[in-house]
Structure 1
């Protein structure tokens, strides 16, 4: 049995052989890296799907050698291009003795150009019979046969370029991601929403409860932050007269990494003047259902063995009712925050802080006891005002807001509300958030004087919605981790060995 040192030595020898092959090619003026352009005429799937009309035609294909078999003066190779794989048949008498001698030395992973005629082998496999073959890029590394195990899973994220080459299903996931992104845009564009761009680099990271990444602008001598949300800028545009706007892009939150959290993630927010949170519920359920139909042909998805149906209408339930149903406690009937904290601590065994109000406790109890049961798509309504600093109060109960979060597979996938447009109330909410920040909550919302000024100019009644695009894509592609649907997820650098 070969030890690790022996395997490493063998690997180094194989890598050195590839470099020697490259040196030889360069010495005879056949350096592949000097080739700049190839006039590709057809791709693998196109040839396979349209074989009957293309049979016998001359084509030019290009791609990576993924398999090579044969001996003597004829060989078969499998070429992988952007669409898939196709077989090529290379004979010495067809490509010429010199070209065939060079071809024999080609390795798995090398990128080649092939010119030839389309035909079907005796075994019935659609192939290209090469009349010319040229090396376009010499692979100096060795592709793995397959990936398996936890260690290799980590490498797949770090070396996504290899993952995409050797695992066709991974490429398919990202093609689906692209289709979902396009579907979101099509859905909103058709409803009259205008796509806009707002700053990523800001002096105040507002619009959500999250810790921002900090940076510094040298020329201005100014501390800045990466955005955690784009809400406040988009609402400024509603003030300015754009009645329907949306932005889809990267957000940045300086928080933990998990199967559903990446510090850099894709989010979409949209705002519509003269609409409310009820309108946003209709958009949410229909948008997700539309994307599911577009990418999978059905609103039903099987996520990690669990069947979830996104067909509208989705279930609706108030946060307070869900908490009372699970715990038997009606927090809003308790006369004081102090008594509510005592009950939450002693009866529910929650981690209660002295600054918490009844509204905070309703939210805390919901997260602890209710979220885990929200498998099928559900709108959770009427969040406490204490945890909703940008949402309009419910006219019948000022302790709650006209807000919802959409849940599926126990995850929050969307957040929306009737936007608070009262500048006096908004200032008071921000000031309360500042008190929470001073008491140790570093995710409390900062004061934003310019945003308040915009509200004073006048924000019409507005509905707003944010959707976690990455989480939605995870559900629609049956991907177990957010890293599976982000091409280059955030990774801790590997430590170099001494």
Structure 2
């Protein structure tokens, strides 16, 4: 019957157990749990993400957050120390086996960590929650791309990337962007290998693909970002966080220009977040992890609807 939950009672108990174990991990690590608002005057400028907007006669238009990142960084700038949050987030036009428009995110920030140390942190927590998982592999984006696509993502021209995509049957849009091609080629060519490889950290992405990460001091073509895949499922996305307010504003403006070129809406830039960066964000790394997907991996669920009481 339609009023009943999609998740079984056993699954709901497993979900509660997962949340308790996550909180226990951070309690032992002395990381503070925080809460931040779900609604904001500012949307996400990322061209790959669409925010839900409110419609009210009594209040100005607001956005449901796609991540608690910006207000959490305001807490970090106020010297909160290392923090984490478990919350519902919302992304428009996302639905499918691993996507629900409303889902549960775990996001945390570690003061004094670079992205390598944060990968260690993520791995330690995941091994507690998925004890049957074998040791994690770590590969740079460049290495995997070269091995599976046959091109260097840091050196290949737009024409070379386009030709490779077309050879794989990709229909290119009229105005094709380099980052879109890198994403598509990575998914098509590396995706099957990831499904057979257990836990894999992919790190050091091209600089253009990490709008909130620091640029590597060893190679300015690379940003200090990682993603974690387990059995081919994208589970977490982390950064050695950018601290430069002026550079962050420039990147936001570039994102908005890309959105405009694609006919997308133009959410206002979060000035409160930029002001916090200007005051001073401590050196830190942060990561967002999809808890619904983690529960799917823990229980062997085939669809995200199996692990959410009332999916959208």
TM more than 0.5: yes
Q: Relative contact order: is structure 1 or structure 2 higher (C-alpha 8 Å, sep ≥ 6)?
A: 2
Cα offset, 1:346, TM superposition: 4.2
Aligned to 1:212: 51
Equivalent of residue 14 in structure 2, options 164, 176, 201: 176
Equivalent residue number for residue 68 of structure 2: 230
Aligned to 1:366: 186
What are the ranges of 5 or more consecutive residues in structure 1 without an aligned counterpart? Answer: 1-154, 165-169, 293-298, 301-308, 491-498
Q: Does 1:440 align with 2:262?
A: yes
Name the counterpart of 1:427: 249
Counterpart position of 2:226: 404
2:4 maps to what in 1?
160
Q: State the SS of the aligned residue for 2:107.
A: strand
C-alpha change, 1:340 and 1:349, in structure 2 (3 Å) is same
Among 92, 105, 125, the alignment partner of 1:254 is: 92
Equivalents in 2 of 1:207, 1:420: separation in Å? 16
Change (3 A) 1:256 1:199: same
1:345: how far off? 4.2
1:239 and 2:83 correspond: no
Distance 1:400 1:352, change over 3 A: farther
Matches within 5 A, 1:47-446: 155=1, 158-160=2-4, 170-206=8-44, 209-220=48-59, 222-292=60-130, 299-300=131-132, 309=133, 311=134, 313-334=135-156, 336-337=157-158, 339-353=159-173, 355-375=175-195, 376-440=198-262, 442=264
Cα deviations across residues 182-212 of structure 1 (Å, max 9, x unaligned)? Answer: 0001101211111111110111123864211
Equivalences for residues 448-487 of structure 1 within 5 A: 448-487=270-309
Corresponding pairs, count: 309
Contact 2:161 2:182 in 1 (8 A): no
Q: Cα distance, 1:237 vs. partner?
A: 0.7
Task: Give the root-mean-square deviation of aligned CA atoms.
Answer: 2.2
- Give me the TM-score of the superposition, normalised by structure 1: 0.58
Contact 2:32 2:84 (C-alpha < 8 Å) held by counterparts: yes
Assess, with a 3 A threshold, how the Cα gap between structure 1 residues 160 and 329 changes in structure 2: closer, same or farther. Answer: same
Contact 2:241-2:285 at 8 Å conserved across structures: yes
CA contact (8 A) 2:64 2:90 kept: yes
Cα separation, 1, equivalents of 2:240 and 2:20: 27
Q: Secondary structure at the match of 1:455?
A: helix
Is the 8 Å Cα contact of residues 206 and 232 (structure 1) preserved in structure 2?
no
Q: 1:352 to 1:387 in 2, by over 3 A?
A: farther
Q: Is the 8 A contact 1:212 1:254 kept in 2?
A: yes
Structure 1 or 2, whichever has the larger Rg, is: 1
Distance in 1 between residues matched to 2:208 and 2:265, nearest whole Å:
13
Q: What SS does the corresponding residue of 1:374 show, helix, strand or coil?
A: helix
Q: 1:184 to 1:159 in 2, by over 3 A?
A: same
- In the alignment, is the contact (CA less than 8 A) between 2:166 and 2:172 conserved in 1? no
- Report the TM-score, using the length of structure 2 for normalisation: 0.91
Cα deviation digits, residues 293-327 of structure 1 (max 9, x gap): xxxxxx12xxxxxxxx2x4x410111222121112
